[in-house]
């Protein structure tokens, strides 16, 4: 857990090579750049990058994270774009925190596939 520090820089692309990683807490740091592709982390259950200075759109490879239960991307105001359609494949997601972001568009039917959300 590396949350609540003053870590700066970008999230390395090589992070996606750590296939056994199941929890990644990088909240409340000074991380910049975009969120890299995470499809190489099939065992990831928790991801928090909230309260950072990330920019750009969300990557589109969320369908590979079938075990993901908690996703916190809140308070990243420079995130832009829409929620990727691959979010619909996150059927085990229980918590999705995405408030205070720059995401736009409609919620559509994608969230309807998340049968564990809020349980």
Cα separation, 99 vs 88, in Å, equals 18
Beta strands 70-72 and 56-57, pairing class = unpaired
Structure tokens at 23: 């929890």
| The CATH number fitting domain 8-113, selected from 3.90.660.20, 3.40.50.2300, 1.10.3720.10, 3.80.10.10 | 3.80.10.10
Please check whether residue 93 is in contact with residue 115, taking contact to mean a CB–CB distance below 8 angstroms: no
Domain ranges of the chain: 8-113
Residue 76 has a pLDDT of 94
Residues 6+ apart with CB under 8 A from 112: 88
Residue 82 has a pLDDT of 87
Q: Select from 104, 114, 116 the least CA-distant residue to 57.
A: 104
Residues 6+ apart with CB under 8 A from 65: 38, 39, 41, 42, 44, 47, 90
Structure tokens at 116: 């564990």
pTM above 0.95, yes or no: no
pLDDT by residue, tens only, the chain of 119 residues = 687 788 999 998 887 777 889 999 999 999 999 998 888 888 999 999 999 999 999 988 888 898 999 999 999 999 999 888 888 888 889 999 999 999 887 766 666 666 677 66
Cα separation, 27 vs 25, in Å, equals 6
Residue 84 has a pLDDT of 85
């Amino acid at each position: 857990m590396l949350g609540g520090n003053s870590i700066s820089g970008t999230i390395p692309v090589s992070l996606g090579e750590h296939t056994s990683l199941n929890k990644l807490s990088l909240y409340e740091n000074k991380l910049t750049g975009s969120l890299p592709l995470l499809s190489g982390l099939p065992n990831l259950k928790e991801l928090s990058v909230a309260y950072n200075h990330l920019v750009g759109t969300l990557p589109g490879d969320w369908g590979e994270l079938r075990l993901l239960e908690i996703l916190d991307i809140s308070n990243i105001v420079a995130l832009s774009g829409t929620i990727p359609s691959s979010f619909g494949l996150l059927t085990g997601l229980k918590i999705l925190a995405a408030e205070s972001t720059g995401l736009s568009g409609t919620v559509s039917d994608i969230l309807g596939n998340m049968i564990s959300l809020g349980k």
